[in-house]
Amino acid sequence: MTNNYKLSPTEKLNYVQKAGPEDVSGSGNFFKKFSLTFVLLVVLLLILIPYFEKLEKQRSLEDEIRRAEEEISRHEIKSLELKNLVSYLESDQAIEERARINFGLQKEGEKVVVIKREFSDEEVLAANNESLETSHFKKWYNYFFK
């Protein structure tokens, strides 16, 4: 200090900083910064971990809601199809069609014609021989590739 300030000797001592061993190397200051940084990182992690868990839970709930809505829409479509089917089956046209097919009924003035195909003996024998002589492997091969 210079003499410009006109300080007493005790005041001069108050302004003088005594250097300790940690101040000379600068490690004490580094340790303080490191520990403060470490504490801040731990606090940040303690804040972020629950946030990310909450975010993941929210995403899973949104996916579940989306799947439920898709299932609801599929069921609504199926319900509409079934209502249409019920209304058709309750109509006179469906009742008439079932009576014709199942009971062979007809309206007045209509004639029912049944066409029956008769197989010749040779065709029946050829089909029986073919099924007896062919192996299962060949039958499956013919089923899928022919």
Which segments in the chain show pLDDT lower than 50?
A: 1, 19-24
Query: Does any domain span residue 132?
Result: yes
The pLDDT value recorded for residue 18 is: 52
Query: Does any domain span residue 130?
Result: yes
The pLDDT value recorded for residue 122 is: 76
CA dihedral 88, 93, 96, 102 (to 10 degrees): -40
Query: Does any domain span residue 121?
Result: yes
Query: Does any domain span residue 47?
Result: no
CA dist., res. 141 & res. 47, Å (int) = 65
The pLDDT value recorded for residue 102 is: 85
CA dist., res. 102 & res. 97, Å (int) = 9
Residues contacting 134, CB < 8 A, separation 6+: 142
- With vertex at residue 106, the alpha carbon angle to CA 100 and CA 108, rounded to the nearest 5 degrees, is 155
**Which residue, chain included where needed, has tokens 């069921």?**
75
Structurally, the chain folds into a number of domains equal to 1
The pLDDT value recorded for residue 53 is: 94
The pLDDT value recorded for residue 47 is: 92
The pLDDT value recorded for residue 16 is: 62
SS3 118: coil
The pLDDT value recorded for residue 20 is: 47
The pLDDT value recorded for residue 48 is: 92
Query: Does any domain span residue 136?
Result: yes
Which range of residues forms the domain containing residue 145? Answer: 116-146
pTM: 0.41
Residues contacting 100, CB < 8 A, separation 6+: 106
Query: Does any domain span residue 125?
Result: yes
